[in-house]
Every structure is written in C-alpha cells, then in structure tokens.
Amino acid sequence: GAVVSQHPSWVICKSGTSVKIECRSLDFQATTMFWYRQFPKQSLMLMATSNEGSKATYEQGVEKDKFLINHASLTLSTLTVTSAHPEDSSFYICSAATTSGSFTGELFFGEGSRLTVL
C-alpha cells in the first residue's frame, strides 16, 4: 500500500513552453502533498506544500507564478512549470502522507520527473 506515482518520468521541452507534472496517490487519500526539487548529487529542496482544496504554501525563494501547484482532489496534485527555461531543468519529486491511522511522519515518494529544458 501507500503508492505514489508521478507522470511523466521524464520530459524534454523547448524554452518558453509550460510543462505539467502529475502526482497521484494510488491507494490512499492524501490531504497534503509536497513538491521537491533535486539537483544532481544534491539533496531534496522543498518547493511547496500542496493542500487539497486550498492554495499551496511555497517555500521562501520559490516563484509562485513560475511553479503553479494545483491539488484538486485527494489523490492528485499537479506541478506546472510555466515558461520553462534551461535553469528550470531538474529532477522534481513529489511525496504524500497518508491520513489514515496514527501519525508516523512517513512520507511516500513518487518516482520523480526529470525535466530538461532546451
């Protein structure tokens, strides 16, 4: 149980275009999902916290208009990189916590989406 799936796993786009990445919790409901960015051989940096039915909370330094997050249902959150530029190329990872049972703090991660902007 507790499977999180991301799509697409990799995407190449031209500079100036927008790219949407989906994050789905397959077998549980996720009130909250998280979006991270991971640079090569570096740690994961939290970009934003996505709450179902409300606006996302962005971390300091993350451009809200550049990285649009929508959490329209309890099983789906999307990250749209708008007007992508080469510096947006990175590995994007989502995670979610199950709300069932007692709190453990464990997060379940998607496979990640590698974005390359030409």
Partner 1 sequence: AQTVTQSQPEMSVQEAETVTLSCTYDTSESNYYLFWYKQPPSRQMILVIRQEAYKQQNATENRFSVNFQKAAKSFSLKISDSQLGDTAMYFCAFMKRRSSGDKLTFGTGTRLAVRP
Which of 7, 20, 51, 74 is in the footprint of partner 1 by CB under 8 A? 51
CA distances from 79 to 54, 100, 104 (A): 14, 25, 26
Residue 102 sits in the site that holds partner 1 (CB under 8 A)? no
**Closer residue to partner 1, CB minimum distance, 33 or 84:** 33
Which of the residues 2 through 21 are near partner 1 (CB under 8 A)? 4
* CA dist., res. 108 & res. 87, Å (int): 27
Two structure tokens written together for 2 = 């507790």
**Closer residue to partner 1, CB minimum distance, 49 or 82:** 49
**Closer residue to partner 1, CB minimum distance, 86 or 105:** 105
Q: Which of helix, strand or coil describes residue 99?
A: coil
Contact residues: partner 1, CB under 8 A: 4, 32, 34, 41-46, 49, 51, 57, 93, 95, 97, 103-107, 109-112
